[in-house]
Structure 1
Amino acid sequence: MRELTSRGYNADRDAVTLLADEPDPARAVEHVVEHAPADVLTISAAQVREALDARDDTEETATEGDRSDRPGPSATPSSESAESDESASPTAESANSATESASATTNSESSISTGRETTRTGEQDSGSAPETKGVGGGDGAAPGGSDGVADAMDADSIGAFERAVDETLHEVSIANDITGQSTGTGEYGDFVSVFRDRYDRLSSKLRGRVNHRPTNALESMGGGSEAAIVGMVNDIRSTASGHWLIELEDTNGVFPALVMKDRDIAAHVDELLMDEVIAVEGSLAQDGGILFVDSMHFPDVPRTYKPNTADRHVQAALISDVHVGSQEFADYAWESFARWLHTEEAEHVEYLLIAGDMVEGVGVYPEQDEELDIVDIYEQYEAFAEKLKQVPGDMEIVMIPGNHDAVRLAEPQPAFDEELRDIMSAHDARITGNPSTVTVEGVNVLMYHGVSIDEVIAEHPSESVSYDAPHRAMEQLLKKRHVAPQYGGRLRVAPEEKDYLVIDDVPDVFHTGHVHKLGVGTYNNVRLVNSGCWQEQTAFQKSVNIDPDVATAPILDLDTLDVTVRKFEN
């Protein structure tokens, strides 16, 4: 799979399995890549079969034609022929060229296929430097892992390497933490305050792009006048003719805007969520009572955004959804991950960022008690603390809570209380609220557990925004500059004096979890990482058709924002 990604291709799971089952997988990969259609980025199983069948039909001729410029014997697989194939593979320069040729889409896409240490890494944002390197099996695989991966994480190998981390170089700061700042009582006035704050902050990002007029001023303008509104989406409905009527609310009132069904911007209406802030431009009807929309704008991330990077080569492991206490907790995979952190291959991994759901919790969903290995919530955190002790002591750990953790469900969520902090004190981890912006050696990482991703996937009309591609939903949240725009659906929101869920400053990295699916991408140069989980499929997940990506650890290079996804065998 790494050979395919180095040439700029994705592949589905069945295609990878076919290639891996070949007597000489490296040669098979070369042949498939040579015969791949020019416009294809994802290799399918059918294309693999077609290419290999064509190879078999012309094998003798093809072999004779290759011998003159390929060192070593090529008739039968052997250690010598394997070396020959490796020496004949494309150079780093040509591999980079192939990867760049696959980068001509607006946003990047990456997801894990958990069959045999494989991955599908996808198209990079055309304007972005970060690269997804794909799954690294290597020393990260568990002992006895598939594909001939050597066990390099036994006690001898750990003892043979001693980490040398200069902890004085560590720099971590935290912003936008609700912990200790919560003042909301749930009264009506609190909700008014939080939505007014949301409107004020997001509308300020739009007013410079349109000639905005308050809603009450539009009523006095003449029919046919050019006008613009910056407002919060109050209602969306279709007319009898199939057009879209959007009610936009500002601090002065509500005004209707009509989007004609045959306009290009009509597609954007399907993406709208209630309570998000947008701007529209158009012309007033003759009676002045409605705005006919010609264009629509979102707060969004500027396409020209340039992310920050660290001044040295240092890495952070981005994980989430550990779920200690569940019968399905991937204990052996976690131990494999922890052992890998002690190896030379992980010597630059100096930070561990955990995006919520440390434990399975209690009473989170119906009949959960039947799936618990540890039924006491405090004992779950004690068991999690033991897992943290396996992580190298020189690593900086930052944690936020999730919806399974023992904090309030309503977002923003404050960090763990003192009793739970004491239980998890072994590593002196930095514990902050959900969401929070964590700045690590100059790189701003927006950490959000991700409950609103459920809402975005449910509401979005495109199949590309799905649980198999959670980073596509994350793109929508960045576009709206709010981690949980819609109130009153699947997500509980706590009213505060300010809206802690607004994305004021563009992050360099957006890190989420919750959906138990791996997704890595780039949106307008912001790195997107949804990090999978450490829990095998539960009966509840099976009932709602969730097939989790288990034991995946995206490793972020803070100096380049490249991501390498490590897969650990269970």
Structure 2
Amino acid sequence: ETELAKRVVHHILGKGYQVTPQLLDKLLKTKNPVETCSQLLENTGPEDILLVELPTEKKEKKSIETPEEEAPPIHIIQDVTTNSTCTGCYEDFLHLFQDRYKQLADILSVRPGNPPTQISRLPSQGEAYLIGMVTDKRVSKGRDEPITFLTLEDPTGQVDVLLPPTIPENHVAQIVLDEVIGVRVEHRNNIPIAREVFFPDLPARNRHPRTEKDVGVLMLSDLHVGSIKFLEEEFNRMLDWLNMENGDKKQREQAMTVKYVVICGDLVDGVGVYPEQEEELKIDDIYQQYEKAASLLSKIRRDIRIVVAPGNHDAVRGAEPQPAIPPEVAQPLYDLPNLTMVGNPATLELHGIRFLLYHGQSLGDLVETIPGQSLDKPSETMKIQLRKRHLAPTYGRHTVLAPERKDYHVIHQVPDVFHSGHLHINSYSTYRGVVIVNSGTWQSQTSYQKKRNITPTPCRAPLLNLKTMKITELNFSSQGS
């Protein structure tokens, strides 16, 4: 039988393929394995044969180190979980916006030039540097072109500022309500006129912190387990690769580098999230959805740390910041020894590299508000969030904000990696040294998306190497293999 197995293997290798142990066993049980194999290869494409080493020839596998027994730890820098204090009263909202102003004003205050002037002490002539929250933005018809007026407010008062045509049009377009900006003004005819507008922005950086060895972070989001659209077969294909059960030597070596799997929201599809959702559910019980998710994630190697943040479909409060998915509904996930739950947003360190996780619900708000933004290029909108140093600047739109006494959406510490999801479209970029990743989805097109002409990019998993800070997109769809 060993000789026959070798003949079958050599026959498949001669055709340019390799074979899984399971398929080899099935072939050897047929009447004529070599002939059956020939027929199979004639009717099979490359995507239908898994590129894995045979158990009888482990020479290449010996070059791959054995995984560590324990998953690496993570350091949680900021997370609202266990820290929420809001009750929804007026004072909570007041503290939220006061904290937002203070955090962002501290960033804007370090700009070179004159120190900021309080609005209540704005001189009636000369120049001044103001830091204020935008409480109103209105456009009036000018003689030749439209003129924009902003109302800025700080803890001492408010003032109207005119933005002349000399301010770059894209700067003016990107200003949204409730964000904090800096404006250098001069008085003309008793009207403060802006000379320059500043967003808090990130400091310029040319170099990333990096790890000495190859450390892989597999970045996922929007699994929507429980939906009839959840692509379970493709997800299992990814799990097999992650566990080095398929793929050629290079692919398995790549899988071997993975030390973290980060899931950035919408682990399950939830129940009652939108009208008539029950018609698109395969599992209509929230507890069973999390049980199914835990069953899938339990297949991941124990030397890999799994990080799960919630999204708007998960069983947590809808208002952001969201605490971690609670054990009351997701105990099977808490039972996994290598899984860590965090809130949304959350700032973490993985192997010394700082990650900002945010599911991304406010991306839709910014696309609707700022001209030139698009749902199919979420990484460009994520750049705007970094420039504003805020994840959800405008209050009162689709993204509901909980009035915590601290504004957890302020990007106070500069991340090395900014990871979002929500829009179901893979998108990557960099901005001032920050790697930007929107990690797509594992759900095929829904009826909601079809009505709005949104085409998702499912089953494409970005793998970030922390040594090179380069992203490899792994396509586990039936078309990608």
Give the TM-score normalised by structure 1.
Answer: 0.71
- What is the CA deviation profile of residues 443-480 of structure 1, one whole-angstrom value per residue up to 9, with x for unaligned ones? 00101100011111111211xx3122110010000000
Instruction: Tell me the equivalent position of 1:437.
Output: 347
Residues 146, 526 of structure 1: alpha-carbon distance in 2 compared, 3 angstrom cutoff: farther
> Using the alignment, how far apart are the partners of 2:323 and 2:280 within structure 1?
27
2:356 partner letter: L
The reply on whether 1:536 has 2:422 as its aligned counterpart is no
Q: Distance in 1 between matches of 2:56 and 2:400?
A: 47
Identity of aligned residues (%): 39
Q: Distance in 1 between matches of 2:130 and 2:227?
A: 50
Unaligned stretches of 5+ in structure 2?
A: 1-13, 17-42, 245-251
Deviation at 1:310, TM superposition (A): 1.6
Correspondence for 2:400: 492
Helix, strand or coil at the partner of 1:246: strand
Residues 1:269 and 2:172 aligned together: yes
**In 2, are the aligned partners of 1:163 and 1:342 still within 8 Å (CA)?**
no
Map of 2:459 onto structure 1: 551
SS state at 1:380 partner: helix
Q: What are the superposed Cα offsets for residues 333-378 of structure 1, whole Å, 9 maximum, x if unpaired?
A: 0011000102223111111011011100011112111000000010
AA aligned to 2:306 is I
In 1, the alpha carbon distance for the partners of 2:67 and 2:404 equals 41
- Of 311, 314, 329, which aligns to 2:230? 329
* Equivalent position of 2:433 in the other structure: 525
CA shift, 1:145, in A, is 9.1
Q: What secondary structure is seen at the aligned counterpart in 2 of 1:329?
A: coil
Aligned residue for 1:9?
none
What is the CA distance between 1:266 and its match in structure 2?
Answer: 3.3
Q: 1:308 maps to which residue? A: 209
Matched, 1:179 2:81: yes
Q: In the TM superposition, what whole-angstrom CA distance separates every residue of 1:68-89 from its partner, at most 9, and x where no partner exists?
A: xxxxxxxxxxx9xx9xxxxxxx
Taking a change above 3 Å as real, the CA distance of residues 534 and 148 of structure 1, as seen in their structure-2 partners, is closer
Equivalent residue for 1:349, pick from 245, 258, 266: 258
Q: Deviations over 1:483-538 (max 9, x none)?
A: 11111001000011111111111100000000000001101110000000000011
Q: Which residue of 2 aligns with 1:281?
A: 184
In structure 2, what is the Cα distance between the partners aligned to 1:146 and 1:515? 32
The 5 A counterparts of 1:88-487 are: 150-152=49-51, 161=61, 164-166=66-68, 170-209=72-111, 210-211=113-114, 212-218=116-122, 221-223=123-125, 225-241=126-142, 242-260=146-164, 262-287=165-190, 290-304=191-205, 306-343=207-244, 344-345=252-253, 346-424=255-333, 425-462=335-372, 465-487=373-395
Q: What is the distance in 2 between the residues matched to 1:492 and 1:531?
A: 23
State the aligned residue count: 421
SS in structure 2 at match of 1:458: helix
Cα distance, 1:278 vs. partner?
Answer: 0.5
Q: 1:508 to 1:149 in 2, by over 3 A?
A: farther
Partner secondary structure for residue 260 of structure 2: strand
Cα 1:154–1:321, aligned 2, differ >3 Å: closer, same or farther?
Answer: farther
Q: Matched residue of 1:176: which SS? A: strand
Please provide the CA RMSD for this pair.
2.3
**Inter-CA distance 183–310: structure 2 relative to 1 (3 Å threshold):** same
Q: 1:393 to 1:215 in 2, by over 3 A?
A: same
Compared CA separation, residues 155 and 216, structure 1 to 2 (3 A): farther
CA 1:145–1:250 in structure 2 vs 1: closer, same or farther (change >3 Å)? farther
Amino acid aligned to 1:403: N
Q: Secondary structure at the match of 1:504?
A: coil
Paired with 2:338 and 2:171, the residues of 1 have a C-alpha distance of 46
